[in-house]
Structure 1
Amino acid sequence: MDIEVSSSNMGFLECFSSPTRVRIIELLGERPMNIKSLSEALDIKSPIVTRHIHMLEEAGIVRSESVAGKRGMQKLCYLHLSQATLLFKGAPRQEDRSRYFVSLPVGTYASCEVKPTCGLASAHGMIGMCDDPRYFADPEHVHARVIWFGSGYVEYRIPNYMVNNEKPDSLEISLEICSETPCNVNHLPSDIVFSVNGTEVGTWTYPGDFGGARGIYTPAWWYKNIHYGLMKTIRITRQGSFIDGVKVSDVTIDGLSLSYDKEILFRIACSATAKNCGGVTLFGKNFGNYNQDIEVTLRCL
């Protein structure tokens, strides 16, 4: 999202003038929370938290929805905006660039090589048997809404809709992900590597320090301990490659060999020889805490 630095966008810009609102953004970046949980984490009263949330919602940074809780309905808050670029005078506006968006279900990988423990499940039940990599080749894998593996990789074919006179400016990929290990095992991190067109753009280490709370969208039939992950955004620009706004490598968009007549290959891997080999779990719609698939945005000049 591009934000012009001007008086017309003061509502957005003022969101970052408060340490409390910045802390709310940090907390919601880790997981969705209700007003009571935010109040306890911030050590301030709920009505004050509600006012801050309202301001963040008005700016499009946070979204919320009413969900059933133990004592009736509760307001659950999510971090809606993964990143924003401030545009000063003379900077190109987002609407001046072509934008191509595609959403890929986690089960629609084009190739894979996985080792147990591993498995796949749709929104309604398991696909094949657990810990048998052969089922990753089952035609039903395209219906998977959650997949996991102890080591190896899955690779997706991203359609490329550029025309031949366009030049790629940035590639953004967001997804919900964690290690393969159950989320209530606090000491098992995982080094997860992201690659585009055969070029490694960055490594993110899942910290392995989350409790075993049930995912918001995880279906009732699900019986395993892997309930939810973290929303991560990989962005490759002319300045380098970033994960959640933090630079992780010097690989730029020009180094990915993107061409209008070729698809884009996106690989997610965890090596058996990695320092932290905790595996990978990917959550799509109907699973986890974020009701989305792998979302890809390609912007061109």
Structure 2
Amino acid sequence: MEIEVCSENLKFLECFSSPTRVRIIELLGAEAMNIKSLSEALDIKSPIVTRHIHMLEQAGIVRSEIVAGKRGKQKICHLDLSQATLRFRKHAVATERSRYFVSLPVGAYSSYEVKPTCGIASANNMIGMCDDPRYFADPEHVHARVLWFGIGYVEYRIPNYMVNNEKPDTLEVSLEICSETPCTVDHLPTDIVFSMNGTEIGTWTYPGNFGNDRGIYTPAWWYKNIHHGLMKTIRITQHGSFIDGVKVSGVTISDLALSYDKEILFRISCSATARNCGGVTLFGKGFGNYNQDIEVTLRCL
């Protein structure tokens, strides 16, 4: 992640003006901790720790989630940023000519190969039967708002509206995603691979299921114990591929060989041979904590 030293980024820069916040970053760099544990380690009161955590959350350095504890709920804090580079001089930036945006429903996949546990559901009900991959071919799959699978992939055809004389500069995809966790398992990490046009651009490891709290938009009829995921942003630029601002590979947008007359293939997969094979769950509009589908933006020069 690259941060420009300017007044617009004061929230991020101010996080390092406090020895307490720097110490919190050190502690969370070793392991996730709740507010009480941080309070004890820092020898300061919990409300003060909470204020520091809030500031770090606003800067995108720390993320937190509410989970069930022995005595009610507790807030677990994670270090969400592994590295950052400060930029003191502005780069010369080429002028953006065009920007193309499309929102793809999670059920609008063009191909798939999945193994149980698996299933798809619309905003109102299940589509077919659980754990039967045949229903991924049901014509009703285009109405799916949530889908999940243990092993395999789904692939989407992203429409490409570039004109002949445009040069692709940045391709960005945002989506809500987590593992596919059987009802009897509380924590299961998973290695999820993202590919574009047949080129693997990076792997993100979901840390484990902490989506037991009902999602803001998850309908009341939903019975599975996964209610929401995490919002992830995948960005492919002229300098490499990034997930939430962290570089995951050297694959550039030029490597994707985007052509104005061809759609873009976007694949989400979890392999049986992955170190952490915990499957995939995708949330669209009407499910999870973010009322959106798979959103794609292509910027051109």
Q: Give the 3 Å change call, closer, same or farther, for CA 289–113 of structure 1 in structure 2.
A: same
Q: Does 1:189 align with 2:185?
A: no
Match of 2:120 in 1: 120
Partner residue in 2 for 1:216: 215
Q: CA separation in 2, counterparts of 1:56 and 1:204?
A: 20
Displacement, 1:98?
2.7
**Alignment partner of 1:177 is 2:177:** yes
Structure 1 residue 4: deviation in Å? Answer: 6.4
Q: Which residue in 1 is equivalent to 2:282?
A: 282
Paired residue for 1:158? 158
Verify the 8 A CA contact 2:15 2:55 in the aligned structure 1: no
C-alpha spacing 1:290/1:85, structure 2 compared with 1 (3 Å): farther
Name the CA shift for 1:248/1:8 in 2 (closer, same or farther; >3 Å): closer
Q: In structure 2, what residue type is equivalent to 1:270?
A: C
TM-score by length of 2: 0.74
Partner Cα separation in structure 2 for residue 40 and residue 296 of structure 1: 40
The answer to whether the Cα contact below 8 Å between 2:114 and 2:153 also exists between their aligned partners in 1 is yes
Which residue number corresponds to residue 246 of structure 2? 246
- 1:150-182 residue CA offsets vs partner (Å, 9 max, x unmatched): 111100111112222221112111111111114
| 1:102 matched to 2:141 | no
Correspondence list, 1:45-60, <5 A: none
Give per-residue Cα distances to partners, 1:62-103, cap 9 Å, x unaligned: 9xxxxxxxxxxxxxxxxxxxxx99876552458745322222
Give 1:14 deviation, angstroms.
Answer: 4.2
Is residue 91 of structure 1 aligned with residue 104 of structure 2?
no
Q: Percent identity?
A: 74
- For residue 222 of structure 1, report the CA deviation from its aligned partner: 0.6
Partner AA of 1:131 in structure 2: D
The 3 A distance-change label for structure 1 pair 7 and 275 is: closer
| Structure 1 residues 94 and 270: alpha-carbon distance in aligned structure 2, compared to 1, 3 A threshold | same
State the one-letter code of the partner of 2:289.
Answer: N
Q: Is the 8 A contact 2:196 2:267 kept in 1?
A: yes
**Deviation for aligned residue 1:207:** 2.2
- Find the aligned partners of 1:116 and 1:106 in 2 and give their Cα distance: 18
Contact 1:201–1:251, Cα closer than 8 Å, also in 2: yes
Q: For 1:291 and 1:172, locate their aligned partners in 2 and report how far apart those are by CA, in whole Å.
A: 18
Alpha-carbon distance change, 115 to 98 in structure 1, aligned in 2, over 3 angstroms: same
Q: RMSD value over aligned CA atoms? A: 4.0
Which ranges of structure 1 fall in alignment gaps of 5 or more residues? 28-37, 63-83
SS at match of 1:142: helix
The 3 A distance-change label for structure 1 pair 101 and 162 is same
Paired with 2:12 and 2:272, the residues of 1 have a C-alpha distance of 44
Q: Structure 1 length as normaliser, TM-score? A: 0.74
Whole-angstrom distance in 1 between the partners of 2:199 and 2:191: 17
Q: In 1, Cα distance between the equivalents of 2:160 and 2:22? A: 38
Q: Specify the alignment match of 2:68 in structure 1.
A: none
